[in-house]
Amino acid sequence: MNPRDLVDPELLPLLDHQPDIVLDAASLLGARTALPELFTGGQQPDLALASLVVHQAGQVPVRVFTPIGGPEDTKHPVLLHIHGGGMVMGTAAMMDVQHARLAAELGCVIASVEYRLAPENPFPAAIEDCYEALRWLHRHAAALAVDPTRIAVGGESAGGGLAASLALMARDRGEVPIVFQHLIYPMLDDRTALTVEPGPHAGHFVWTREKNRFGWRALLGNAAGGPDTSPYAAAARAADLSGLPPAFISVGALDLFIDEDIEYARRLITAGVPCELHVFPGAYHGFDSAPQVRSAMVARNRSRAALRRALHPG
């Protein structure tokens, strides 16, 4: 069967107009230039909704959006967001438009990490940058008008994978409590398309097997797909998922990450971790960016609702 025949018909126009970013060593610089433009489309964040201040968490830049309005002594819950880009591209700033809106809508602070990219900075650079931002956020909670007991982590694609690994690292190091992990089609397992082939209908669009191989090998070198990958690089490698914060996972049925995401959700549930899993039929990687498509709107609404419940319980 042609995989295109399985795509939700409402998502086909977005797929047809999606530029195919080539991802290899020769084209990486061009891909890094093209990806942020795809996200912003030249738009600027509405700073009437939320203020933006760029801080330094040690050597790690963190873009902090704080909702405007409300009592001056408000202590906001906070989402530490980690951007996507296959471990090799993307910027925190490419999510500015969405973050300004989301901070205002959810009444929360959003802090977005500018972590170092592979292959120039292989593992553990990215996850250690994310952890440094997490510690900084917790340590400076009062100055940032943040409630240090209501910190969530989240991201999309590679950012979702880093968020899952960050939840593991925070659990193991025991310095910062995390209340929620918000994982949108997370990149969790370096074995996918290296030593484990996904299902026949997965990974034909947007984020392909070839791109996935490049991303993991950039991060881990020749060790990618081998027996000794750290769970702080690929969360699916963790032997023990107990004691992690509740999770929300959303993924399309045609996404390359469908199998690893469902398996991670199953293992979280088995470990006693509350986990909400949503699988969208006919949806490929990044489908939720489609502006007026029903499945994309449902995905965004469920995602925001999960964040709202986690950040403002009761």
CB atoms closer than 10 angstroms to residue 27: 13
Q: Are 288 and 294 in contact (CB under 8 A)?
A: no
The residue annotated as part of the active site, out of 8, 189, 190, 255, is 255
Distance, in Å, from the CA atom of 160 to the CA atom of 182, rounded to the nearest integer, reads: 7
| Residue 255 annotated as catalytic | yes
Nearest-angstrom CA–CA distance, 36 and 95: 8
Phi and psi (nearest 5°) for 103?
-60, -45
146-156 sheet: strands from edge to edge? 50-57, 60-67, 109-113, 76-82, 146-156, 180-184, 247-252, 275-280
46 among known catalytic residues: no
- Point out the catalytic residue in the list 112, 157, 230, 303: 157
In the set 285, 288, 295, 303, the catalytic residue is 285
225 in Cβ contact with 192 (< 8 Å): no
Annotation marks residue 157 as catalytic: yes
List, by residue number, the catalytic residues: 157, 255, 285
